[in-house]
Amino acid sequence: MAKQTSLFGKISGKLGAVVFSTSGGETISREYNPNVSNPNTQAQINQRARLKLMSQLSAALSPVLAFTKTGLVSKRNKFTKVNFPATYVQDGQAQITYENVQITEGNTALPAIFGVGDPNGDDWEIRSGFRVEPSATIKRVVFCLFKKSLEGKLEYITSQIVTERNFSEPGVYFAALFDNLEVAEYVVFAYGMSDQSDRATAQYGNLNVVTASDLARLVATRSLSFSDYQFTQTRSITIKRDGSSVEPESPGKIRVFVTALGNGGTVSGGGSYDPGTSVTVVATPATGMSFDRWVKNGTNQTISTQASYTFVVTEQMDLVAVFSEGNNDSL
């Protein structure tokens, strides 16, 4: 490798068997090597997989992302920066837990939401809201509904901006109702919004904001100033095909999360438990697949190689079931 000064200023690229690059204002030349010993390290492959996942997720959530656009930095770029640390790669597949996804720049606290799916003839209804009352400063809560495909991809369905704090059902706050839905798995994202002054409240009333997309567009274009409005963190919950959901953690309870990696099978046993409770999580392989092990979410640390794994809850557990192609062995 050699450093040199070019008559034509800074240059880069390949010329014959020499590759030119610029570093620290200097032009550097080196011999071209067509046979790189390891052009794709595992770390590079994992990084690209995580970035691809974030690109796909930011595209799916783009209509409701409440991030500002700053210069050449788009709202999707900001979303990626905030949520990238929550991604991980397990056996070559990039993953993220939707309950950890943030669609706002806010960090003000918001209680966990609940979600319940109820059959209504051939259609579905989904109710969501809070069982713990949010801060009195929150004027409205934005609910965004996404349908989750069998492959785990999200499709934006609709949204509601709820301003009524109290609901006819005792103990429910800022209730949202989505009806005429097809039977599927859904994810609900929610965040709160506070007005910093009476002037801000009056201004919001003149903006004709109807949907989460309207609000996201105003945030992206800075038509809504953060000096006038404050956003909370995002809360979310997944409603399964049977209408059940991962309930918010209750006071004094410990959460156990269970996730199936990819489409290798299904898992059960997650929920909120009293400390000291004996819990059994079960991984059931899909046809043509076999169970390998339970690992700690975000790591490659093996917790158990038993598909039916029993343990005593002393702290929050986030377990991922890893499957591989092969015979469907019995539990």
pLDDT the model gives residue 26: 65
Mean pLDDT of 210-231: 88
Split at pLDDT 50, 70, 90, the class of 286 is: confident
Mean pLDDT of 281-293: 91
The predicted model scores a pTM of 0.65
Report pLDDT digits (tens) over 197-208. Answer: 999 999 898 988
Residue % of the chain over a pLDDT of 90? 34
Identify the helix (H) or strand (E) that includes residue 321: strand 317-325
pLDDT the model gives residue 23: 59
Q: Which CATH architecture has domain 41-248?
A: Sandwich (2.60)
Q: Which residue has the tokens 């590759």?
A: 19
- 3-class DSSP state of 119: strand
For 62-95, give the DSSP string.
GGG-B---BTTB-HHHHHHHHHGGG-EEETTEEE
Domain boundaries, the chain: 2-31, 41-248, 254-325
Exposure of 118 in the CB half-sphere (CA atoms within 13 A)? 9
Mean pLDDT of 215-233: 87
Looking at 59-73, 127-141, 154-168, 259-273, which range is the least confident one?
259-273
Looking at 104-108, 186-190, 298-302, 323-327, which range is the least confident one?
298-302
Q: Which residue has the tokens 């989904």?
A: 126
Residue 28 above 70 pLDDT? Answer: no
Burial class (CB in 10 A: 0-12, 13-18, 19+), 287: exposed
Split at pLDDT 50, 70, 90, the class of 291 is: very high
| In the chain, alpha helices (H) | 42-61, 75-83, 198-205, 212-220
